[in-house]
Chains A and B, each alone.
Chain A
Amino acid sequence: MSSWPSDAFRFALVGNPNCGKTALFNMLTGKRQKVANYPGVTVESKRGRLITPSGRKMVAIDLPGTYSLRGRSPDEAVTRNAILGKLADESPMDLIVCIADATNLRLSLRLVLELKLTGMPVILALNMVDIAAKRGIEINMKRLSERLGIPVIPTIAVDKGGTAELLAAIDDAAAGENTSSTPTWHEQSADEVRATHLLVNQMIEDCVTIPAGNDVWTRRIDNVLLHPVWGLLVLLLVLFLIFQAVFSWSTPAMDAIKAGFDLAGDYVKSNFPEGMLSSLIADGIIAGVGSVIVFLPQILVLFFFIILLEDFGYMARAAFLMDRIIGGVGLHGRSFIPLLSSFACAIPGIMATRVIDNRRQRLATIMIAPLMTCSARIPVYTLIIAAFVPNTHVFGFVNLQGIVMFGLYAAGIISAFLVAWAFRLFVWSGKSEPFIMELPSYKRPSLRSVGINVLQRAFVFLQRAGTTILSMMILIWFLATVPGAPEGATEPAIHYSFAGMIGHALLPLLAPIGFNWQIAVALIPGMAAREVAVGALATVYALGNDEASLGSTIATHWSLGTALALLAWYVFAPQCASTLSVVRRETNSWQWPLAMFIYLTALAYLAAWIVFHTTLLFT
């Protein structure tokens, strides 16, 4: 990788959303990609390396899809500045490759004309020419190229079609590269945009023949998928299938991962001399990292469906159907998918909020994502429900335990809407942002491109979550282990550790909501990942790894009020260090994760207090 010269020829891929830009990028660069954020902002820069037929080593940069160079948010301005070389220590791009959807040329051509105004060299890649041909759209490439004054190359990204020709054109541009002048840009006024549209209309009339009603399939599919009733039913069905897949397909892989980490831990414990080091490796690092990696199968399955549906064109339809339903509380139709992802884990959900182009709505979505019941809470819910809620049926057929579980999920969702609504009311009062979204034509997704993107997402998840989690794990292990138990100790070791001390110190605060010191102590290792609290409770009650008997132990030690209060606490459960750290990275500030921690803690405390005292009244 280091063999690429630092002054290698660099070109940016620019295009409207849904033009197949990322698929083309994947075809050009294969797996030689690197995802990183631009310094200081949340705009992702995807870089890929490639060698042209003539042997030139180049760097391709995939920029977020856009209709205009005019940045509407600070993040979008970065895209423009990256092209123009206005970012610190970066020179302008050597070339812009503009990608256009051949079936929908109008907006792409307007973008091309805007890009040309910068004075930088531009190549137009006419993508999806195969679909255009099938629909009877005829494009006179030669005349279009003459009118635009730039090379026009037809491509079919999903089949690698035209990439050789595109690379040759890029090669030509690199060969003829002259010391070009500094690119210029000014924000186009509304009237300039209108004038460009007129110009584009003339070009299309001149070079393109579009048969009437050319996209019958999208229209037919939309008649069902966008139907106010059938559309919502199909959406529900799709969601049901995704959830089924996320929770059932990934179970064998999750079991295998869990077993693997348990084995590794046991191996370390039985082969290393007993002491701090073996405990750090086995209980701290291996157990801790394992408790996060175990969610990877769920996240992979989830991302697979999300990216597949996005590439197919369905995600915009889901946003359309959900917009009014969740828009009432100030969320965007596109908030829907990130919130959905958060049912597996809030981290991929928060990472997926990048599709929301509006900053306020994106922040609101990030802030409520942890209220979606993530799968890390399920072990805690299951433990308490099994121990305290009788496994009986009400009305003859409804399982009481099931109702409580459902109620906890519903409580999370309802709270999320209330919080979003409060946000809109008190934090961002005033005008809401426009909801304007293209509904792209349906397209056959490329499995290869979907695969690359899924792996990329998974890698980013491991990178983001992994680095923080490892350090948190070591810290929490340290708190729960040091100092060790004194000679002749009667209580389990954790009782004498810093975590034990903190737990005891917090007890006066937590007693009013019914928590005993064992719960207080267990909440601290639970900071690493919520389900770790179950194992920690077993440790505190000196049950070792015997989590099976934990249920009967707590059933005799806790009052009903305590158990229900802990359930209520876990609906909000502020204690997930990984989520907070991802929020910090995604918002690039400490303010938002801090605000999240404070509001979640406050709500958790309030809810637990109400539940505890209400239960006392009735028991």
Chain B
Amino acid sequence: MVDTHSTSVLPVPVLLGKAGKGFRGTIVAVGAGVGPSDLEDAEYSDELERRLLEIGFVEGAEIEILHEGLIGGDPIAIRVDDMNVALRRREANAILVRAYPVGPSGKAQG
């Protein structure tokens, strides 16, 4: 996509598990249908969705990837609003995130 008017076009959402260190943005969607669904059954993804929600991964929350593990950049340490959570990339793939439109100082798009 050619970005001609940068103020109105939002970055394309990505899976949190695929984002690199330093990524900042907001959560667009959590849970069922977000990540690669071929791996797990419905019961597992329902459980994962609720556990993610319960620890604060909810639509609209601001996130930032702070740290990565040594092997394969896994797991990742993420700031979710005001708290820090560790997550494996596998589980992070159930979360869809959108980077801030411009620069690191951009405001969250609730």
Contacts and interface: CB of A to CB of B under 8 A. Distances in A.
A67 interface: yes
Contact of A222 (B66, B70, B75): B66
Contacts of A218: 84
Contacts of B71: 324-325
Interface in B65-103: 66-72, 74-75, 77, 81-88, 90-91
Interface in B44-83: 44, 46-56, 58-60, 66-72, 74-75, 77, 81-83
Interface residues on A, range: 35 or more
A325 B88 CA distance: 12
A360 interface: no
Contacts of B50: 68, 70, 188, 190, 193
Given A324-B75, A439-B77, A193 B82 contact: no
B6 to A, nearest CB: 25
A186 interface: no
Contacts of B17: none
A324 B51 contact: no
A438 B55 contact: yes
Interface residues of B, number: 38
B31 interface: yes
Contact of B88 (A193, A227, A434): A434
B53 A193 contact: yes
A106 B82 contact: yes
B99 to A, nearest CB: 19
Nearest to A107: B56
Contacts, number: 116
Contacts of B3: none
Contact of B69 (A68, A219, A320): A320
A197 B53 contact: yes
B40 interface: yes
Nearest to A114: B54
Q: By DSSP majority rule, is chain B's interface helix, strand, loop, or mixed?
A: mixed
A323 B91 CA distance: 14
Contacts of A67: 54-55
Contacts of A439: 77, 83-86
A319 B83 CA distance: 17
A459 interface: no
A441 B77 CA distance: 13
A106 B88 CA distance: 23
A32 to B, nearest CB: 33
B64 to A, nearest CB: 10
Nearest to B41: A431
A431 B72 CA distance: 20
Nearest to A101: B83
Contacts of B31: 190
Nearest to B87: A436
Nearest to A226: B67
A557 to B, nearest CB: 49
A323 B56 contact: no
A210 B67 CA distance: 23
A142 interface: no
Interface in B19-57: 31, 40-41, 44, 46-56
A103 B84 CA distance: 12
Given A324-B69, A437-B85, A68 B44 contact: no
B66 to A, nearest CB: 7
Contacts of A356: none
A434 B91 contact: yes
Interface in A201-230: 201, 210, 214-215, 218-219, 222, 226-229
Interface string A399-415: 00000000000000000
Interface of B: 31, 40-41, 44, 46-56, 58-60, 66-72, 74-75, 77, 81-88, 90-91
Given A190-B46, A320-B67, 16 more contacts: A67-B55, A106-B81, A107-B56, A107-B83, A193-B53, A228-B68, A228-B70, A316-B86, A321-B69, A323-B86, A324-B74, A434-B90, A436-B55, A437-B86, A437-B87, A438-B83
16 contacts: A103-B82, A104-B82, A106-B56, A194-B53, A197-B58, A226-B67, A228-B70, A320-B67, A323-B75, A323-B88, A324-B71, A324-B72, A434-B91, A435-B91, A438-B83, A439-B77
The 9 closest A-B pairs by CB, nearest first: A228-B70, A439-B84, A226-B67, A193-B53, A197-B58, A324-B71, A67-B54, A320-B86, A434-B91
